[in-house]
Amino acid sequence: MKRFWKLAIPVLATLSLIGCGNNQPAQPAQPGAQQEVAKDNLAQASSKETTYPLTVTDATGKEVTFPKAPTRIVSTSPAETEILFALGLDQQIVGVSDYDDYPEAAKSKPKVGGVVKPNEEAILSQSPDLVIGGISMEKPVADKLKTLGMPVYVTQPKKLDDIMANILVMGTITNRQEQAEQMVAQMKEDIARVTEAVKNVKPEEKKKVYLEFSPGWTVGKGEFMDELITLAGATNIASETEGWNPISEEKIVKDDPDVILYAKGITDDKTGKQLEDIIKNRSGWDKMKAIRDQQIYGMDQNILSRPGPRITQGLIDVAKAIYPDLVK
């Protein structure tokens, strides 16, 4: 998994392992127009059957038309692969990225390269009628795939509402509307479970949380990981910043977080040290409340970072770590 995050994080958590050195992160692509289904097709949602041809607009603002439900789907993003499997499209998936590892069936699918720059020839060899690119796919790559005649649909979710909207649109594209609606309904139940549990936390009692997803990098507002902390009734100490940022060790000590969250299984390329050990052994950090009180928790890196159907499980995990007495 270390190799995956080294490639993938400037846009989601793509900054993570690249940020271990002095490299500057690539800027995330700006989300395009809200992904939406053409109005005349939305009317079909009540029947749970998609009417084709179907035209949708992806996150880059480009329209994609599907003459029928896709039967050969390539996903270049682990999160979107999880969505496709959850929609019951195992038989239609003919290619996934090198890093797709969930569910188990994804591991045996043909591989089409990385998440940032997938292998064009590998994708073409599968004769896909739908190629899905996630938040790590660079716009020039998506544009090139489109010029090769591939029906490419790109997602760039920044918040939980975007993730759920993606699921609904993908359900419509693939004629799996009912499954998509059920998935989103469960996710909304998860969100309600957490927000209800923490609703009585007073503003002055909100815990301060520091999240480190990769050595030397944290996340501010405008990203769904920041939203997870907010929905869990806490305050992200990096919320005055936007997107992914290199940390200031001195500022974090000054902010003195009550809880520290980090991604399990992340190793620093340069030192070979686990992220947990790096955090605990930074100079002066032993004086912080979170470390003194042993309020430092490892989160499943995939559940926490993939904008797919398991993201609300990530919310529950975050909330349990911050408020174990409130969120059962």
- 47 in a structural domain: yes
52, 165: one domain = yes
38, 142: one domain = yes
Rounded-to-integer distance, Cα 175 and Cα 178, Å: 8
Query: Is residue 9 over pLDDT 70?
Result: no
Residue 276 is predicted with a pLDDT of 95
Query: Is residue 106 over pLDDT 80?
Result: yes
Query: Is residue 88 over pLDDT 60?
Result: yes
Residue 328 is predicted with a pLDDT of 87
163, 220: one domain = no
Local confidence band at 46 (pLDDT 50, 70, 90 cut-offs): very low
Helix, strand, or coil (residue 70): coil
Residue 139 is predicted with a pLDDT of 82
The structure tokens 């993938």 sit at 8
| Average pLDDT, integer, range 135-160 | 89
- 92 in a structural domain: yes
72, 154: one domain = yes
Mean pLDDT of the chain: 87
For the chain, the domain total comes to 2
Sign of CA dihedral 105, 108, 110, 115: positive
Residue 136 is predicted with a pLDDT of 84
Query: Is residue 5 over pLDDT 70?
Result: no
pLDDT in tens, 202-215: 999 999 999 999 99
126, 259: one domain = no
Local confidence band at 37 (pLDDT 50, 70, 90 cut-offs): very low
Q: What are phi and psi of 230, to 5 degrees?
A: -65, -45
59, 95: one domain = yes
- 8 in a structural domain: no
Residue 47 is predicted with a pLDDT of 62
Local confidence band at 142 (pLDDT 50, 70, 90 cut-offs): confident
- The residues near 262 (Cβ < 8 Å, ≥ 6 apart) are 211, 212, 213, 275, 276, 279, 296, 297, 298, 299
61, 138: one domain = yes
CATH of the domain at 289: 3.40.50.1980
Domain boundary among 130, 145, 179: 179
- 65 in a structural domain: yes
Local confidence band at 135 (pLDDT 50, 70, 90 cut-offs): confident
Residue 48 is predicted with a pLDDT of 87
104, 224: one domain = no
Share above pLDDT 90 across residues of the chain, in percent, rounded to a whole number = 77
- 143 in a structural domain: yes
Query: Is residue 3 over pLDDT 80?
Result: no
| Average pLDDT, integer, range 3-28 | 37
- 11 in a structural domain: no
Residue 65 is predicted with a pLDDT of 96
73, 211: one domain = no
108, 215: one domain = no
169, 54: one domain = yes
Residue 41 is predicted with a pLDDT of 46
Domain boundary among 179, 207, 230: 179
pLDDT in tens, 55-64: 999 998 999 9
The structure tokens 């999160």 sit at 79
- 158 in a structural domain: yes
- 305 in a structural domain: yes
Query: Is residue 29 over pLDDT 90?
Result: no
Query: Is residue 309 over pLDDT 70?
Result: yes
162, 121: one domain = yes
Domain boundary among 145, 179, 213: 179
| Average pLDDT, integer, range 10-32 | 36
Enclosing domain of residue 313: 199-322
Query: Is residue 13 over pLDDT 80?
Result: no
Task: Report the interhelical angle of 78-86 vs 177-197 (nearest 10°).
Answer: 110
